[in-house]
Structure 1
Amino acid sequence: MTRVRLADVAKAAGVSPATVSLVLNDAESRISDETKERVRRVADEVGYLPNPIARSLRTRVTGTIGLVSDRIATTPFAGRMLAGAQEVARENGRLVILVDTDGHPEIESDAISTLVNHRVDGMVYASMYHRVMPAPAGLPAGTVFLDCRPEGGGYPAVVPDDYAGGRAATQELVDAGHTRIAYIDDGDADRPVAAQLRLQGYIDVLTEAGVEPDASLHVFAETAAAGGQLAIAELMALPEDERPTGIFAFNDRIAAGVVMWAHRRGIRIPEDLSIVGYDDQQLVAAELDPPLTTVSLPHAAMGRWAMEVALGLREADTESPHLMDCPIVRRASVGPPAPLGSARDTRVTD
């Protein structure tokens, strides 16, 4: 199909190409309203579409935002970040060009270079999980870091407030009357930043409540249901008066393992054991029996914030990351602690 040219519009409208250009680009001119209306009507009738490359060279605006990520487009855990970012871009007439690198440095480097060469109007660099990292080479000034923060600052960044989230999870159990609260931590050798922040929130809330943190109640697990099952079995092997009545799990998948283990042994949740997860993971937290009380990672809100900064809709500090609130989502897995000698204690035999 032959592309309709600006000259074709000019011929059909009976004006010069320069007049068509001025009208269609809304440039200031002395052209009459009647002529402007005729040019626009003819352009619609003949199906004229402006050349986006030529327009971007002239205006230095391409209407596109580059978003480079490790795995957020291919994981069920963080896709809401992309949804939030795209929503803001769409509301402001921008198109997001996404490159998911699967964590490969060479692909990442090529992606950044290509997006810069295509003159994207802004750039967002996103991570699947909260981490501190060196800024990749070639990132343009003003690139926004999403769910990660650059070593040494220098760029705007947004991350979840995992310290406050750890506090909220622990406080939920303390407020329900629990004092024997276990934290099932991320057992990965390369522990993420979030693990230590959540642990510190847990410790600080216990201390403020007058509860001495007990090292035997801080255990590590694979961040999956299988890890949660092994961890709760270890905790419930403690002497009866040392077992936890409340569990704070590093993520919802660990919490799901705790729930599965408890169900198999006739341990009721929350009557016999209370559990708080973390992430509010789709198709996990709300689907457990009972539905899991958890801390929500604000993926969509972070995605929106990052895109708003990239588009210049809000200002951001380039030296300190913006900490996004991680709200508690109350469901049905937390209740008051069962007393010693109750059914919960006598049922645990392994």
Structure 2
Amino acid sequence: MDDLARHLGLSRATVSFALNGRTDVRISEATRARVVAAARELGYRPHAGAQSLAAQRTDLIGFVTDIPASPFGGGIIHGAQAAAWRRHKLLLIVSSEGDPEIEATGVEMLLDRRVEGLVYATQMHRVATLPAAVEAVPTVLVHCTSDRPGAVSVLPDEVEGGYAATRRLLAAGHRRIGLVNLAAGLPASTGRRSGYERALTEAGLELEPALVRQGDATATTGYDLAARLLDLADPPTGLFCATDRMAMGAYDAAKERGLRIPEDVAVVGFDNQEIVAAYLRPALTTVALPFAEMGVAAVEMLAATAAGERVLDRTLTGRLVERASV
């Protein structure tokens, strides 16, 4: 500002008022335009650190995650970044790769940069162990929960997702529907099974334990579990797979047995992992988790906290993406 003032023959105060758009002081529009033009010509840039000290606000949001390279990380980051940008905030991202030491150090570095709040996002819907330092600023968890006091979360509605997937198979006329589920004890596994069971009960169908198989979220496991279901004496005509990768394995199990999709057996996935779901043949009908929407909600919840509002957990519903496998 001193350089600009000397260059223009004006006081430093006049330059400051012009650049900061002050309307409570009398500066002619010609002078204001002259200052702005000179600042652009000379490459003037405000000192963000000094401004944040003066305003007691940095406009920075920390984002800590183990998922930047996963198929789902992009959605959460995109949503959070778009919401932050609309509020003139900058997102600082720390990728922990699931390493607790990197995570703890990353949080400390973000706090050193005086972030106004933290978004903590996980790839898997789980109970997370948070670094103790997160208590220093408002924090919103995405796709996870924590037993730490005061932590609030934005989560996908796993029950409604499982319900929608099963209802789609029921609507197509299927009455024997197998569930290729995630391992027991995971929030996603429990919720998706609960939605599956609710849909069957509403349709007046009995729950058959033999039609439910559980394992890890891989194509190999999907193949193994679907094969066991399709080899039953009275096999299911519809399969609800708890992930799109598991559905990919189920496709192979069905085709090895000479079964056509969807004519002989229908398949519904979960996640809408587009590099899988959109390119299977036939393309996979699946439930899309609201990852971008969760990222947006997390930033909105931080803003509400900053405004002094009471913020509670939020649950967002995904949507059924129709393709050709039912």
TM-score with structure 1 setting the length:
0.86
CA distance in 1, matches of 2:177, 2:311: 38
Residue aligned with 2:275, SS:
coil
1:227 aligns with 2:221: yes
Aligned pairs (5 A) from 1:292-303: 292-303=284-295
1:163 aligns with 2:159: yes
Q: Percent identity?
A: 41
1:112 alignment partner AA: V
Alpha-carbon separation, structure 2, partners of 1:37 and 1:134: 53
Could you report, residue by residue, the CA deviation over 1:2-27 in whole angstroms, capped at 9, with x for unpaired residues?
Answer: xxxx2110101112223222322234
Q: Which ranges in structure 1 are unaligned for 5 or more consecutive residues?
A: 1-5, 335-350
Structure 1 contact 147–159 (Cα < 8 Å) conserved: yes
1:198 deviates by: 0.5
User: 2:287 aligns to what SS in structure 1?
Assistant: strand
CA–CA distance in structure 1, aligned partners of residues 108 and 57 of structure 2: 18
User: Could you tell me which residue of structure 1 aligns to residue 38 of structure 2?
Assistant: 42
Matched length: 323
Give distance in 2, aligned partners of 1:286 and 1:316.
41
CA contact (8 A) 1:145 1:156 kept: yes
Taking the aligned partners of 2:170 and 2:35, their CA distance within structure 1 comes to 71
Match of 2:239 among 244, 247, 260: 247
One-letter amino acid matched to 1:174: L
1:188-227 equivalent positions in 2, closer than 5 A: 191-227=185-221
Give the structure with higher Rg (CA).
1
Structure 2 gaps of 5+ residues are: none
Question: What's the offset of the Cα at 1:122?
Answer: 2.6
Q: Structure 1 residue 30: deviation in Å?
A: 3.3
Shift of 1:95: 2.0
1:49 deviates by 1.0
* Distance of aligned partners of 1:221 and 1:315 in 2 relative to their CA distance in 1, 3 Å threshold: farther
Match of 2:145 among 149, 154, 159: 149
CA RMSD, Structure 1 to Structure 2 (Å): 2.1
Distance in 2 (CA, whole Å) between partners of 1:33 and 1:128 is 52
Residue identity opposite 1:176 in structure 2: A
Q: Name the CA shift for 1:47/1:78 in 2 (closer, same or farther; >3 Å).
A: closer
Cα distance in 1, alignment partners of residues 159 and 149 from structure 2: 20
Correspondence 1:1-350 to 2 at 5 A: 6-27=1-22, 28-70=24-66, 72-139=67-134, 140-151=136-147, 154-187=150-183, 191-239=185-233, 242-312=234-304, 318-319=311-312, 321-334=313-326
Query: What amino acid is aligned across from residue 143 of structure 2 in structure 1?
Result: D
Residue 342 (structure 1) aligns with:
none
Which TM-score applies when normalising by structure 2?
Answer: 0.92
- How many Å separate the matches in 1 of 2:9 and 2:105? 47
Deviation at 1:47, TM superposition (A): 1.6
Q: Distance in 2 between matches of 1:122 and 1:103?
A: 21
Q: What do residues 122-170 of structure 1 show as CA deviations (whole Å, max 9, x unaligned)? A: 3211111222334431113421211122326623321100011011111
Conserved 8 A contact 2:227-2:254: no
Helix, strand or coil: the match of 2:133? coil
- Distance verdict in 2 for CA 1:318–1:309, change over 3 Å: closer
Distance 2:101 2:60 in 1: 23
Cα deviation digits, residues 306-340 of structure 1 (max 9, x gap): 12333449998644x21111111111111xxxxxx
